[in-house]
Copies of this chain bind each other. A is one copy, B any other.
């Protein structure tokens, strides 16, 4: 009947489509029928792979958080100086924003608690904890001033996160990595010993 070829990995197709639609229009503005149309697949197929619309969002969320955790861990777990590792995290976040804005947007922007009520706030998720741990380590080493941990994390990572939000909202024109160096230096200076 239909001309379309079967997708080799329908689950992936559904997730990718949902991610694009969710970030562009918002979870509640996308019906499962929209996903069906965009992915050129049937409702039945979707509900075969996922029990509910919410479970699609949940799967996306879990995937993305764990990918991001992995990426950050990789960057952190080398033997460079703490400052270098922090800069590398900035760099990673900026590159992810440019290369996969939908993913970044879904993680950062989406108010997950509105559609994943049982999920704790993003900022308590692993990627953010890793950044916090980095700050802790810096204080223990003495390269960062002794400050409240949350406060110091906000000072160091608040600026790049804000830049990312602005970029995703279309309020910054140039790619973020162009501003990496001055931004990092300014943010670092706010907490450096």
Which residues of chain B are near A165, meaning CB under 8 Å?
123
Q: Closest approach, in angstroms, between the C-beta of A14 and any C-beta of chain B? A: 21
Within 8 Å by CB of A151, from B109, B161, B163, B189, lies B163
Q: Which of A134-193 contact B (CB under 8 A)?
A: 147-148, 150-152, 154-155, 157-163, 165-166, 169-172, 179, 182-183, 186-187, 189-191
On whether the beta carbons of B147 and A155 are closer than 8 Å, the reply is no
On whether the beta carbons of A148 and B114 are closer than 8 Å, the reply is no
By the criterion of a CB under 8 Å from any partner CB, how many residues of chain A are at the interface?
Answer: 42
Which residues of chain B are near A159, meaning CB under 8 Å?
154-155, 158-159, 190
On whether the beta carbons of B161 and A179 are closer than 8 Å, the reply is no
On whether the beta carbons of B121 and A170 are closer than 8 Å, the reply is yes
On whether the beta carbons of A163 and B154 are closer than 8 Å, the reply is yes
Alpha-carbon distance A147/B179, docked complex (angstroms): 10
Copies of this protein, total: 2
Which residues of chain B are near A109, meaning CB under 8 Å?
111
The residue on B at minimum CB distance from A192 is B189
On whether the beta carbons of A114 and B183 are closer than 8 Å, the reply is no
Which residue among A27, A151, A163, A182 has the maximum number of chain B CB atoms within 10 Å of its CB? A151
Alpha-carbon distance A88/B179, docked complex (angstroms): 28
On whether the beta carbons of A154 and B166 are closer than 8 Å, the reply is yes
Alpha-carbon distance A168/B163, docked complex (angstroms): 20
On whether the beta carbons of B186 and A29 are closer than 8 Å, the reply is no
* Inter-chain pairs besides A26-B111, A150-B172, 4 sampled, C-beta below 8 Å: A26-B114, A28-B28, A147-B182, A154-B159
Q: List 12 A-B contacts (CB under 8 A).
A: A121-B171, A147-B182, A150-B166, A150-B172, A151-B183, A154-B163, A155-B183, A155-B190, A158-B161, A161-B162, A162-B162, A190-B190
